[in-house]
Amino acid sequence: MRLNNKLLNWLTAGYLCLPIILFFLGWLQLVYSILLTIGLVLGVFFYLKRINKEASWTTLPVLPTVVSVLLLFIWVYFSGIGGYANQDWDHHCRNAIFTDLITYKWPVYYNFSPGYHIGFLAGHKAALNYYFTFWLPAALVGSYFGRGIGDLCLLGWSYLGLLLILFQLVRLIHARHIIFVTLLFGLWSGLDSIGHLLIHHALANYKASIEIYSYFSYTSFTTDLYNVFNQVIPTWLITLWLLNNKKTISLFPIAILFAYGPLPFIGLALFYGIYVLISLYQQKYGTTWATVINQAWLQLDWVGTAVAVFVLGAPYLAFYKAHLPGLFSQFIGQRLVGLALSDQLKLVINYLLTCLVETGFYFLLIPLLSRSVYRDNKISYWICFWLLLFIPFWEFGVWRDFASRGSIPCLTILAVLMGKAMLDAYKKNGFSLALMLTVLVLGISWITPAWLLTKAPALTAKPTIRDGIGSFGNPQISDNHDPEGLGSSLSNFYSIEPQHRFFYRLLAKPSAEKSRR
């Protein structure tokens, strides 16, 4: 079985850009939607022309590939996407988004009465404002054929994304080890059980989240898929796509990620920008940084950059800027202010322990396993190390979302480096002491995904569906009745009085008299 890498690039671009085109056509006025769609198609064409210069193939072993494809299906099926398995708490909001994208005309607008039972919505007009691009293909199908078909399409769309991720992975790590790659990626996690034990001096309760044991957390890949699939699937895919084509300096693939999640976009943009500058500096060793920046400027893909800024960046930035303001944001220094010295010291120690168990052991093991993998990927290794060390310093969102979402690109790269190092170590030394130690560390880290996987299958006739909000047009909760604490996240999904926002005033389609389909 042979995989045409040119075709894989085309499929990846199509998969990522189709939902964006649907956003343009569904949310923007006709003239803008047509112009931006044409610009995006041209951007895809020119970017693929740059990276598809030579024909290349990846040979896939048939039986291991079939096994990996089946494992991926089990993984996504048990994620709760589409409602076929037990769902985690985040699906309260995700189900409501999908419901409204199916039920309402696009753009999605709401009207709330003056006496509405949720205070910040009372008497206001609002619009659904969130990074919901990932849902749009399945929502479009669901709007014509019903919610059941829409759920099936959402599961299928997510699975297709995971297949593309798998094939991008085996381009980076030898395809002969495709089952190993699949398991390593699907089970990737920090040592959350150890972190919980060190900080709380007790094991986590089975019903609680094992990963929330410190003031920030880097979530496992299974947790990400089960909770924020709309962000993590595009982030994994674009990060791996970028690694496979990093010789071409282009902002285009990174800008695509902005449409799916601003926080992962920031993480990937930081990594890629630093990587390009350091790589060019090493190639031109002895020159000034001004020369390096000028060299990067000259090598930049200007067509891709124009598309990134004007076709992707500008409309989505205007859309996100129309969001309801007031999200929690502070730097770690502000958290320390006013604390007693002992509490400050405790916070710093907990931070260092969390960094050690979430990523530190992996950074120690990679050069121990394979000096050649470490040497060949030294720039990526150290950029990921420093970024993952400092990302928690910015606490953004109710649940410190930048730490858990902005870290996804670097964690993806770290998983790739670990896979390469383990395979190289086994090839050269067999089951060495370093490799056995790595397997032990990974085995402990797998407690987290195993914890989640045991909760996923529905043991009763029907799976547990998290639908406590129902619709953002009429949430089932109120200020006085919110048993699952959904109100803490409710403001994340609205633009209040959108008619006064630049995006809705000048770019978006106007509100229809009848908002429901």
- Structure confidence by residue, pLDDT tens digits, 245-256: 887 778 899 999
pLDDT of residue 296: 65
Instruction: Please say if the pLDDT value at position 275 is more than 70.
Output: yes
Q: How confident is the model at residue 514 (pLDDT cuts 50, 70, 90)?
A: very low
Q: How confident is the model at residue 333 (pLDDT cuts 50, 70, 90)?
A: low
pLDDT of residue 513: 46
Nearest to 355 by CA among 191, 188, 186: 191
Are 435 and 369 in contact, with CB atoms under 8 Å apart?
yes
Residue showing tokens 């040592």 = 191
Q: How confident is the model at residue 257 (pLDDT cuts 50, 70, 90)?
A: very high
CA end-to-end distance (rounded Å), the chain: 45
Taking the whole predicted model, whether its pTM rises above 0.85 is answered as: yes
E strands along 332-451, which residues? 394-396
Instruction: Please say if the pLDDT value at position 72 is more than 80.
Output: yes
Per-residue pLDDT reduced to its tens digit, 491-502: 889 999 999 999
Distances from the Cα of 136 to the Cα of 43, 158, 259, 282, 323, angstroms:
21, 12, 12, 43, 19
Instruction: Please say if the pLDDT value at position 234 is more than 70.
Output: yes
Distances from the Cα of 372 to the Cα of 368, 380, 419, angstroms:
10, 14, 13
Are 18 and 133 in contact, with CB atoms under 8 Å apart?
no
Q: How confident is the model at residue 454 (pLDDT cuts 50, 70, 90)?
A: confident
Provide the mean pLDDT of the chain. 89
Nearest to 395 by CA among 386, 410, 405: 405
Distance (Å, rounded) from C-alpha 100 to C-alpha 105?
A: 9
pLDDT of residue 326: 62
DSSP state of 122: T
Q: What is the mean pLDDT of residues 225-240?
A: 96
Amino acid type, 197 = L
pLDDT of residue 85: 92
DSSP state of 174: -
| DSSP labels, 203-256 | PPPTTS-TT-SSSS----HHHHHHH-HHHHHHHHHHHHHHHHTTTS--SHHHHH
Distance (Å, rounded) from C-alpha 236 to C-alpha 412?
A: 7
Amino acid type, 210 = I
Mean pLDDT is lowest, of 125-129, 285-289, 320-324, 497-501, for 285-289
Nearest to 438 by CA among 424, 422, 452, 427: 422
List own/partner pairs for 433-439 with CB under 8 A and 24 or more apart.
434/365, 434/368, 434/369, 435/369, 437/365, 437/368, 438/365, 438/369
Neighbouring residues of 185: CB distance < 8 A, sequence distance ≥ 6: 165, 166, 169, 221, 415, 419
Q: What are the φ/ψ torsions at residue 109 (nearest 5 degrees)?
A: -120, 150
pLDDT of residue 212: 77
Nearest to 387 by CA among 233, 240, 516, 218: 218
Distance (Å, rounded) from C-alpha 325 to C-alpha 498?
A: 12
Mean pLDDT is lowest, of 132-146, 177-191, 358-372, 449-463, for 449-463
Per-residue pLDDT reduced to its tens digit, 468-493: 999 999 999 998 898 888 888 888 89
- Helical axes 5-27 vs 136-145, angle rounded to 10°: 60
pLDDT of residue 300: 67
pLDDT of residue 341: 81
The more confidently predicted of residues 116 and 296 is 116
pLDDT of residue 199: 84
Instruction: Please say if the pLDDT value at position 61 is more than 60.
Output: yes
The DSSP H or E segment spanning 166 is helix 147-172
Per-residue pLDDT reduced to its tens digit, 365-400: 999 999 999 999 999 999 999 999 999 888 776 667
The more confidently predicted of residues 56 and 382 is 382
